[in-house]
C-alpha cells in the first residue's frame, strides 16, 4: 500500500502539471476570441457607418471586414445561439469515449505528441510493473496485470515481449525488441538484471520517465504561450489595421 500511494502521488503530480500547463493557453484563447468577437460585432459596424457617410473607396480587405462586422451585428442573436450550440457540441463530443479514443489515435500519429504520450504510458507501465515485482509477483502475471495501462498498439508489443520472456529470453532483450524501451531505460534494465533488483530498477525507470515528461511539459509551456500570445496579437492587430487603413489612405491623400 505504501508503494501504491507513492506511485499514485507521482502520477497525480504529472497529471496536475499537464492540466495546469493547459489552463493558461485556454484562457488566452478564450480572451482572444472574446476580444475578436467584440471588435467584429461592435467596433467594426460603427466604423462601417463612418465610411459609408464618407463615401470613399475602401480596400478589398477592409470592405470584406466591414461586411463581416455588419453581418455579425445584424444577426447577433443567431450568432450567439450558434456559438452556444457549438460550445455545447464540443463539450458533448469531448465527453464521449469514442471521441476521446479518436483524438488519442490521431495524437499518437503526430511525431512529437505521440512520442510524449508513449513516454507517459511507459512511465506508468514501468512504475506499476516494478511495484508488483518488488511485492513478490512473478513476471508473467505482473505483465498481464499491467497490460491494460497501455494503449492497444503498445499492448500488442507487450504481448510479444511477454512471450519472449516466457520462452527464457531476458527482460531487457524482450522489451527492446518490441519497442518498449528507450536507450536510457534499456541500460537501466540491463543493470537491474545483473544486480537482481529488477523491481527497484523499473521503479527508477518510471521516475526517470516522469521527470522527463515534467521537463517536456515545462519546456512546451514556455514555448507555446508566447507563440499563442503572438498569434492572438497578430489577429487582433490585423483587424485594427484593416479598420484604420481607409483613414490612413485618406490622410495620405490630404497631404
Q: What pLDDT score was predicted for residue 64? A: 79
Does the pLDDT value for residue 251 go beyond 60? Answer: no
Tens digits of residue pLDDT in 93-149 = 877 777 767 777 777 677 777 778 888 888 888 888 888 888 888 888 888 888 887
C-alpha closest to that of 170 among 185, 184, 189 = 189
Does the pLDDT value for residue 73 go beyond 80? Answer: no
CA distance 202 to 69: 59
Does the pLDDT value for residue 253 go beyond 60? Answer: no
Taking the whole predicted model, whether its pTM rises above 0.75 is answered as no
CA distance 204 to 64: 59
CA distance 207 to 190: 17
Tens digits of residue pLDDT in 5-56 = 776 776 677 677 777 777 777 788 888 888 888 888 777 777 777 777 666 6
Q: What pLDDT score was predicted for residue 27? A: 82
Q: Which residue has the higher pLDDT, 85 or 254?
A: 85
**Is the separation of the CB atoms in 130 and 202 below 8 Å?**
yes
Does the pLDDT value for residue 65 go beyond 70? Answer: yes
**Is the separation of the CB atoms in 217 and 17 below 8 Å?**
yes
Q: What pLDDT score was predicted for residue 211? A: 82
Amino acid at each position: 500500500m505504501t508503494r501504491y500511494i507513492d506511485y499514485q502521488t507521482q502520477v497525480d503530480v504529472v497529471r496536475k502539471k499537464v492540466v495546469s500547463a493547459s489552463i493558461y493557453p485556454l484562457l488566452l484563447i478564450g480572451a482572444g476570441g472574446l476580444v475578436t468577437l467584440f471588435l467584429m460585432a461592435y467596433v467594426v459596424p460603427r466604423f462601417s457607418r463612418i465610411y459609408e457617410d464618407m463615401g470613399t473607396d475602401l480596400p478589398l480587405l477592409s470592405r470584406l471586414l466591414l461586411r463581416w462586422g455588419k453581418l455579425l451585428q445584424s444577426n447577433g442573436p443567431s450568432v450567439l445561439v450558434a456559438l452556444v450550440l457549438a460550445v455545447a457540441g464540443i463539450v458533448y463530443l469531448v465527453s464521449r469515449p469514442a471521441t476521446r479514443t479518436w483524438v488519442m489515435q490521431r495524437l499518437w500519429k503526430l511525431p512529437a505528441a505521440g512520442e510524449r504520450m508513449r513516454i507517459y504510458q511507459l512511465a506508468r507501465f514501468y512504475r506499476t510493473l516494478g511495484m508488483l515485482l518488488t511485492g513478490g509477483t512473478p513476471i508473467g502475471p505482473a505483465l498481464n496485470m499491467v497490460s491494460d495501462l497501455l494503449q492497444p498498439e503498445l499492448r500488442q508489443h507487450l504481448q510479444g515481449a511477454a512471450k519472449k520472456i516466457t520462452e527464457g529470453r531476458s527482460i531487457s532483450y524482450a522489451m527492446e525488441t518490441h519497442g518498449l524501451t528507450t536507450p536510457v531505460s534499456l541500460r537501466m534494465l540491463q543493470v537491474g538484471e545483473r544486480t537482481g533488483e529488477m523491481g527497484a530498477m523499473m521503479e527508477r525507470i518510471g521516475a526517470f520517465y516522469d521527470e522527463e515528461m515534467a521537463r517536456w511539459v515545462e519546456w512546451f509551456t514556455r514555448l507555446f504561450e508566447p507563440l499563442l500570445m503572438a498569434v492572438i496579437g497578430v489577429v487582433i492587430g490585423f483587424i485594427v489595421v484593416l479598420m484604420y487603413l481607409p483613414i490612413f489612405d485618406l490622410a495620405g491623400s490630404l497631404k
